[in-house]
Structure 1
Amino acid sequence: MYSNSFLPIRLLAALLLLLLAHVSRAQSTATGPVPIRVDLTKELGEAKPIWAWFGYDEPNYTYMKDGKKLLTEISQLSKVPVFVRTHGLLVTGDGEAALKWGSTNAYTEDANGKPIYNWTIVDKIFDTYIERGMKPMAQIGFMPEALSTNPQPYRHYWKPGDNYNDIYTGWAYPPKDYAKFAELVYQWVRHSVERYGKQEVESWYWELWNEPNIGYWKGTTEEYIKLYDYTADAVKRALPTAKIGGPEVTGPNWDVSAKFMKAFLDHVVSGKNYVTGKTGSPLDFITFHAKGSPKVVDGIVQMNMGTQLRDIDKGFEIVASYPNLKKLPIIIGESDPEGCAACSEDLHPQNAYRNGTMYSSYTAASFARKHELADARGVNLLGAVTWGFEFENQPWFRGFRDLATNGVDKPVLNVFRMFGMMSGKRVQVQQDLAYNAQKLKAESVRGEADINAYATKGAQEAAVMVWHYHDDNKLEPGAPVSVQLKGVPARRVLVHHYRIDQQHSNSYEVWKSMGSPQNPTAEQIATLEKAGQLQAYTSPTWMDAKNGLLQLDFSLPRQGVSLIKVSW
């Protein structure tokens, strides 16, 4: 037995051992490459294209010049149909586009209160998707002015810097007549079937509202549940094989959000239906939102991926607690580094991650972990919607959370181009690297960098996406990386290497090198458009796999992302 006089020595020895272990690990990274070991023989499940989902607040941008251009590019980066979700599809108005606002005038009433349905703008939006092989995640909302229980004020004129709560006006209230709202939904679904065909509309996902646990819904939880019953019944009456879901709550890790989500799921399982009087309500998929939380620390933007992953995991945990619902598809209806796409960098300095490579490396690292969290909970993750599109006629690189600026792609869009080249089965990446989903969920990335990978294997190809991410937006020195593939089924393989960093696939750095022009010339725009595309890091190379092993060594800058594509 040791006396208390030895405690300081024992404590010092323990601290010294911890320090030596940390130094040893840091030195191994500094003196030798980080090994990324991929085993193509160990499959983890289907590589679902959970990334092929996008959304935005402003529906009328859909068919504008830069909106159509970006939608074309998004549709072309994926071999599977991309789903698109947008707000405001039932909002009353003239179709004028503005920040955090959009309208279609789908429903009005005459002097006698008789409904007038006008699908002109809704069709224009959905036609834009369908023409490109995309599919709507058709959001049923928000409340038409003629149906709102508190319609005035209705149209808002929010701009960056205003109080965010100013956006919640008459469109956010429950209907004064649930049957009329249900009939509007019925007519919309029936019209969609007539215009696009039963088989096409069966492939869509219909959902009710957006974030009803915060200001987007000015009713109670029970009033949302009632509206869901009326909506689901109307959708199924119009097309029994249509898919309907909800509740699109945000922040499942918040107590109030978890309570709302559980109340909704309790109702669809065992509650009394407001329309039929029977037990339960139709539910074909489950939705919720998850966001990160960046801030500025000592003048540096510091991300918080852990906050987003905790939201995701809590949502998965809640779904998994319902045996009858556990296998339903889950769509994370908005899945982003933070919560306000239209809040600009100039007024919100924590959003300075958006133009450069931090957004792209965050996206790569976070999407890979969504698969891990779903596997751990045993749930069926179908999609994760990136809430980022484009903002028409805004200053170049103003710092909105968008995929392109004035028709020029930002680095983040190239991560999705990389994902578009990955399919087949997910395969094992070694588990002894600095972070996995569980550690990242608990700690985020505040110590050593997250150098890791996501890998897939198809019939005649394999792909490995490697990132060098850190929560702190500092361009630290690059790290040597050694990607080692085991189980390559051919001797001779063709290797393509693509890169996003300061010098590759980065229109923002090129724009800054031009002097950050707000009125670039046609020649400059052409240069920026080219810089915004995904670029090769090296020329395609034929290599020999020895005994099924292939090794590629390279340096990966901080906040950089590489895609190694191997085909045989």
Structure 2
Amino acid sequence: MRIVVPRQSTAQLPDAWRHCVGTGRLDLALRRDYQESLRLVQQEIGFRHIRGHGLLSDGMGIHRPYDHAGRRRVRHAFTYLDQVVDSYLESGIAPFLELGFMPSGLASGEDTVFWWNGNVTPPHDEREWAELVRAVLGHLVDRYGLEQVRSWPVEVWNEPNLRGFWAADQDAYHRLYEVTALAVKEVDAGLQVGGPSLAPGYEEGWIQRFAEFVDSRDLPIDFVSRHAYSSGPEQIVPFGTHQTLMPASALLEQFAAPRRQLAGTGLADLPLHITEFNSSYRPDNPIHDTAFHAAYLAPVLANGGDLADSFSYWTFSDVFEEVGIPTALFHGGFGLLTHRQIKKPTYHLYAFMARMGDQLLARGEDHLVTRHGDGRVTVLAWAPADPAGGEPLDGHTVRLSLPVGAPESHGSAFALRRSVSEEAGNSWAAWSEMGRPPAPNDRQLDALREAAEPARSHDGVPVSGGRAEVDLVLGRNEVTLLELTPVVDETPEWWDGGRLFGLGPE
């Protein structure tokens, strides 16, 4: 059946998908590979904020206790913080500040998470913690200006409902939130503070109790945050993990959950930020590198903006070390890019979204249609991806009648198509065919970069009565972007293609 796309826009296409992107711990931003990857992502996709762990961990060197004249004192040092934030702003992206983890000199215990030992215990001195929060935000305001820092959300901790990320109970998190939120507002009442940054799988009572606590104490809160992942139990192999996946709709259900769970509370109408999402929560699951992954997440990017104010892909780059230093170029990392800027298929899904118009014309289970202000029509289409492990579809067809030009116009449109699939734009497949070299040489890297580029094709499409009839036949796990531009024919009257080789009448 052919889908007749309406001529009039039904709404603006939400761009919640580009509001934020995730990153490894913040001190990784000092590395050249990281900076080159971020510049590339910003040139071709253009996220607005970036969020990662470790702002207050020892690797950033901010909290520096010392003894002098028989008294404990603290120096707040911003050497690395300034370099990190400067590099972000130079790349056209601003921080989404996660306040964590605990500096070792302020920690109440020795519980840590990740290979790099982020401390996950409450502060041993709440007053000193509040001073740290005020010092960091006050410094950012002094250096970058109040108006700019007011646009940087401040999230209190990360996944406090998981013992691995918070070595205390919910009441202790409530106390941390209270102390932190009040300290943030002491710097400036216009700064945005929120939480609780919950991991998937929490009981509804957790977020409801948080809302009750905030309401009962009349605490400041400007947004609500949670995370979303769709993977099942871990099957560990050497230097990797395999997991089952729920349908992609499970991610959308998680995006929607907080507003349902907070109905009737004082937090119900606050902005909702999904500050991490992906399929697997493991940074060594090869599903992240595949063409399947792009097709799997396409409906999430197409529909997620109806459910949340932002949803932040975890992460933009494989420069990431939660379970240790990666042992191979392709290792199942979260990133849209590998080390050395090899684009994965999911990178192209985001790059395609960045080329969509802002006027929403149609949306379905396998397509999204938009229009630009200059009249161009853009179509994102994808082959359905089956996480149950069934054979990927080959030959799935999306048939569309697209409004191009004025209602009575006739002529043609220039059609430019870009695609990634099992066979095209699939750097992971190319790497596999090379024999999976852990550390590719320069020649192999060049070949992988070339293999990573989408397939491109172009054509002239007839337009009759202001419509173009298009059949998009999709390969296995294909995601395609079609851009249609009405043609204004400026061919000179003397042009004769039959004489291209000098033949024909004198």
With structure 2 as the length reference, what TM-score do the two structures score? 0.84
Partner of 1:164: none
Partner of 1:83: 49
* Consecutive unaligned residues in structure 1, runs of 5 or more: 1-33, 93-102, 159-166, 273-279, 345-350, 375-380, 436-451
Kindly report the root-mean-square deviation, in angstroms, between the aligned alpha carbons of the 2 structures: 2.5
Which structure 2 residues correspond to residues 107-118 of structure 1 after superposition, within 5 A? 107-111=63-67, 112-118=71-77
- The alpha carbon displacement at 1:55 in A equals 1.0
Task: Give, as a single letter, the amino acid of the residue that structure 1 aligns with 2:444.
Answer: Q
- The alpha carbon displacement at 1:178 in A equals 1.4
Q: 410-419 or 122-131: which moved more?
A: 122-131
CA distance in 2, matches of 1:561, 1:536: 11
CA distance in 2, matches of 1:318, 1:203: 27
CA distance in 1, matches of 2:13, 2:92: 23
State the secondary structure of the residue aligned to 1:126. helix
- The alpha carbon displacement at 1:139 in A equals 0.7
CA distance in 2, matches of 1:470, 1:120: 48
**Are 2:37 and 1:70 aligned?**
yes
Identical amino acids, percent of aligned pairs: 23
Out of 195, 198, 220, the residue aligned to residue 143 of structure 2 is 195
State the secondary structure of the residue aligned to 2:60. coil
**Are 2:198 and 1:266 aligned?**
no
Are the equivalent residues in 1 in contact too, given 2:111–2:121 (CA < 8 A)? no
- The alpha carbon displacement at 1:52 in A equals 4.3
CA distance in 2, matches of 1:209, 1:301: 27
1:180-205 Cα offsets, whole Å, 9 max, x none, are 11111111111111221222212211
CA distance in 2, matches of 1:485, 1:549: 6
Out of 162, 185, 192, the residue aligned to residue 214 of structure 1 is 162
Partner of 1:504: 424
Out of 282, 285, 292, the residue aligned to residue 340 of structure 1 is 282
Partner of 2:497: none
State the secondary structure of the residue aligned to 1:465. strand
1:267-291 Cα offsets, whole Å, 9 max, x none, are 33x212xxxxxxx111111111111
Task: Give, as a single letter, the amino acid of the residue that structure 1 aligns with 2:160.
Answer: P
- The alpha carbon displacement at 1:82 in A equals 2.5
Partner of 2:492: none
Partner of 1:377: none
1:414-443 Cα offsets, whole Å, 9 max, x none, are 11101111231333235xxxx5xxxxxxxx
Out of 177, 191, 196, the residue aligned to residue 247 of structure 1 is 196
With structure 1 as the length reference, what TM-score do the two structures score? 0.76
CA distance in 1, matches of 2:131, 2:243: 48
Partner of 2:174: 225
Partner of 2:185: 236
**Are 2:2 and 1:43 aligned?**
no
CA distance in 1, matches of 2:14, 2:416: 20
Task: Give, as a single letter, the amino acid of the residue that structure 2 aligns with 1:455.
Answer: V
Which structure 2 residues correspond to residues 381-396 of structure 1 after superposition, within 5 A? 381-388=308-315, 389-391=317-319, 394=326, 395-396=328-329
Task: Give, as a single letter, the amino acid of the residue that structure 1 aligns with 2:379.
Answer: V
CA distance in 2, matches of 1:334, 1:313: 14
- The alpha carbon displacement at 1:511 in A equals 2.0
Are the equivalent residues in 2 in contact too, given 1:482–1:551 (CA < 8 A)? no
**Are 2:315 and 1:397 aligned?**
no
- The alpha carbon displacement at 1:567 in A equals 3.2
State the secondary structure of the residue aligned to 1:494. strand
CA distance in 2, matches of 1:36, 1:118: 59
Task: Give, as a single letter, the amino acid of the residue that structure 2 aligns with 1:287.
Answer: S
Partner of 2:351: 417
CA distance in 2, matches of 1:532, 1:52: 25
Task: Give, as a single letter, the amino acid of the residue that structure 2 aligns with 1:84.
Answer: I
Out of 107, 111, 125, the residue aligned to residue 84 of structure 2 is 125
Out of 504, 526, 537, the residue aligned to residue 456 of structure 2 is 537
CA distance in 2, matches of 1:320, 1:566: 43
Partner of 1:327: 269
Task: Give, as a single letter, the amino acid of the residue that structure 2 aligns with 1:308.
Answer: L
* Consecutive unaligned residues in structure 2, runs of 5 or more: 236-241, 487-506
**Are 2:299 and 1:358 aligned?**
no
State the secondary structure of the residue aligned to 2:257. helix
Q: 472-481 or 502-511: which moved more?
A: 472-481
State the secondary structure of the residue aligned to 1:89. coil
Are the equivalent residues in 2 in contact too, given 1:42–1:427 (CA < 8 A)? yes
CA distance in 2, matches of 1:122, 1:205: 16
State the secondary structure of the residue aligned to 1:88. coil
- The alpha carbon displacement at 1:68 in A equals 1.0
**Are 2:242 and 1:311 aligned?**
no
Partner of 2:23: 56
CA distance in 2, matches of 1:172, 1:232: 18
Partner of 2:491: none
Are the equivalent residues in 1 in contact too, given 2:397–2:471 (CA < 8 A)? yes
CA distance in 1, matches of 2:94, 2:4: 37
